[in-house]
Amino acid sequence: MGFFEILLIAVVALLVVGPERMPEAVRSAALTFGKVKRSLSSARSEIEKQIGMDEIRRQIHNEDVMDNLSKIKAGLSDIDKQIDSGEVAMPYDQEAYDELHSQVGAALPSTGEESVACENEIEQIARTKANEALPAGSML
């Protein structure tokens, strides 16, 4: 609602209720609005609790983390191919690159296993080590 719409509602309310009963009417409306808002909020939280929204949010987050790790692993595979074929001749830190490979591989479940809960720590490792390990100028 814009300013003029609120002003129009206030003027109409003032004309209908009258100036002497206006403060009481505003107070009553505010209390009623607060009660309705609290009721809706508690109903929403109760419904979320019953359907297990926390578990659903956690599962969606874990799936996002696993997707990001899969993309990182695919990027590493592409860079491996480039290094093996000789397309990338820039110097890089082999030890850091191998460590990144092992950490990403450990974070991803092997085929057929259920998705495991990953911590933000794994994402952080992938982000911080990628630039050190990859050939200069390469980005995932």
Listed in sequence order, the residues at least 6 apart from 139 whose beta carbon sits closer than 8 Å to its beta carbon are 130, 131
Question: Look-up: residue for tokens 């990027």?
Answer: 75
Question: How many CB atoms are closer than 10 A to CB 58?
Answer: 12
Note down pLDDT in tens along the chain; length 140 residues.
789 998 898 889 889 988 899 889 989 999 999 999 999 999 988 888 888 888 888 889 989 888 888 888 888 887 778 777 776 655 566 777 777 777 776 666 554 444 444 445 555 555 555 555 555 555 55
The overall pTM is greater than 0.75: no
